Amino acid sequence: MDKIYLQMFSFGEFDPSLTREQICAAGDMGYDGVELFASNFEMPVDEMKALLEEKNLEAISLHTQTGKVEKMIPYAQALGMKYMGIAMEYIPDHESALAFAKTLNTLGKKCSEAGIMLTYHNHTQEFNVFDGEKVIETLIANTDPEFVGFELDAGWCSAAGEDTVAFINKHAGRIKLIHVKETDRVIGPEAPRNPADMKFDENGRPMISEEERRADEEKMKMDCPTGQGINDWNAIKAAADAQGCAAYIVEREYTYKGTRLDCLKEDIAYLRQNVK
């Protein structure tokens, strides 16, 4: 794999004061670019632009919330981003999926006017079936391809029980970005989570009970070393390349050995050496 990007969430530390250190680490590990995340936006855009140029990194995209898309357009423009992603949305039923598709179209048109393609990033919950249709397919069917694309998280897609290659082929032209995330198991579609119900500490970490933390950590263990799970990365890349995927972005949820940096170094090394 030639160009490989890194989702900044992957560092697992969300203190804004760490942004410079993390950007530098991404460049030093050999990543070609980054997808920015919430804690990174505390850095003034001019400072971020200079830092990215210093480390020879491309800002391909960012993740934000639905209600912040319009606010983030100038930031994305200033960094020359081609994409902007909504990280997650609460979609508890078919009517909510249809309503959110309309929102995506509206926001996507505004992004398009700024030269940016809006994307939506899946978890497993988008593979729930409501009224006979998967949520993600309701979104795909009811959004305008000119204004809205999708960032397929291959790890969550496979964990939901989907054939990721078949899904990409079925929706050719709509998958603009791929999140390279490994999984060693199928857990099925999870119940929809409402981000509005989540509380965060001053460093952006979710405030959850010890029981919830243990359950989440056990689930995150499925994010095993890239290449040691159930995803066939060469097949995924071939399918995604054939339908026009623009970028492959590593996103890591779990530290399976040593430090998170150790894992991210192994992720990029595997992709460089084994995925064509």
pLDDT of residue 203: 65
For the segment 191-196, the average pLDDT, to the nearest whole number, is 82
Non-local CB neighbours of 99 within 8 Å, separated by 6+ positions: none
* C-alpha span between 87 and 153 (Å, rounded): 10
Task: Answer whether residue 178 shows pLDDT above 90.
Answer: yes
Q: What is the mean pLDDT of the chain?
A: 96
For the segment 132-146, the average pLDDT, to the nearest whole number, is 99
Closest CA to 154 of 215, 101, 222: 222
Specify the DSSP class assigned to residue 222.
T
Task: Answer whether residue 200 shows pLDDT above 80.
Answer: no
| Look-up of token digits 């291959």 | 154
Whether this prediction's pTM lies above 0.85 is answered by yes
Parallel, antiparallel, or unpaired for β 175-180 and 148-153?
Answer: parallel
pLDDT of residue 174: 99
Domains of the chain listed by start with CATH number: 5-274 (3.20.20.150)
Task: Answer whether residue 199 shows pLDDT above 90.
Answer: no
Six-digit token pair at 9?
């969430």
pLDDT-above-90 percentage for the chain: 89
pLDDT tens track for 227-252: 999 999 999 999 999 999 999 999 99
pLDDT of residue 255: 96
Specify the DSSP class assigned to residue 234.
H
For the segment 69-77, the average pLDDT, to the nearest whole number, is 98
The three-class DSSP label of residue 214 is helix
Q: 154: part of which helix (H) or strand (E)? A: helix 154-159
pLDDT of residue 148: 99
Six-digit token pair at 43?
């850095």
pLDDT of residue 179: 99
For the segment 148-159, the average pLDDT, to the nearest whole number, is 99
pLDDT tens track for 202-223: 766 677 788 888 888 888 999 9
Classify burial at 209, counting beta carbons within 10 Å of its beta carbon; exposed 0-12, middle 13-18, buried 19 or more: exposed
Task: Answer whether residue 125 shows pLDDT above 70.
Answer: yes
Identify the band that residue 265 occupies on the pLDDT scale cut at 50, 70 and 90.
very high
- If one compares 198 and 149, the residue with the highest pLDDT of the two is 149
pLDDT of residue 204: 64
Task: Answer whether residue 88 shows pLDDT above 80.
Answer: yes
pLDDT of residue 251: 99
- If one compares 95 and 212, the residue with the highest pLDDT of the two is 95
pLDDT of residue 198: 74
